[in-house]
Amino acid sequence: MTSPDTFITALITTRHTARTAVAAQAAADPMQHISPRRIEMQTMHEALAREHMRQREHEARQHSLRSQLAAANRWRYLERRAHAAYRRHSQRAHRVAQAVAVTS
């Protein structure tokens, strides 16, 4: 009959040896101990990450387009204002020229 201390020592030694063997196998081939469920979870997370990146890129393109459109609208607004100011000033200049011609 074995003593409890001997049994516990043997159990600890066996577990330690098994862990060391598993660690050595994992170091030799890291993909060997990845379970199919773990691979499935990794691929699911990778797919979610890819989808998130696609969505962020789409949002970035949308933001860029909105910014370009806003800039174009600002330039168009400024162009209309400048053209209206030019018309006003040219009409005033024409009226002044007519008034000077009439008085001369």
* Number of domains within the chain: 1
What is the domain extent for residue 65? 42-104
- Specify if 24 maps to a domain: no
- Specify if 36 maps to a domain: no
pLDDT (0 to 100) of residue 101: 86
Residues 5, 18: Cα–Cα separation, whole Å: 20
State pLDDT tens for residues 10-40: 656 665 565 565 555 655 555 555 666 666 7
Q: Report the alpha-carbon angle 22-27-31, nearest 5.
A: 90
pTM: 0.47
- Specify if 1 maps to a domain: no
What is the DSSP code (8-state) at residue 35?
-
Taking the alpha carbons of 55, 61, 67, 72 in that order, is the dihedral positive or negative? negative
pLDDT (0 to 100) of residue 12: 62
Q: Give residue for tokens 């789409």.
A: 58
- Specify if 33 maps to a domain: no
CB neighbour list of residue 42: distance below 8 Å, 6 or more residues apart: 34
- Specify if 4 maps to a domain: no
- Specify if 21 maps to a domain: no
User: 58 or 25: whose pLDDT is higher?
Assistant: 58
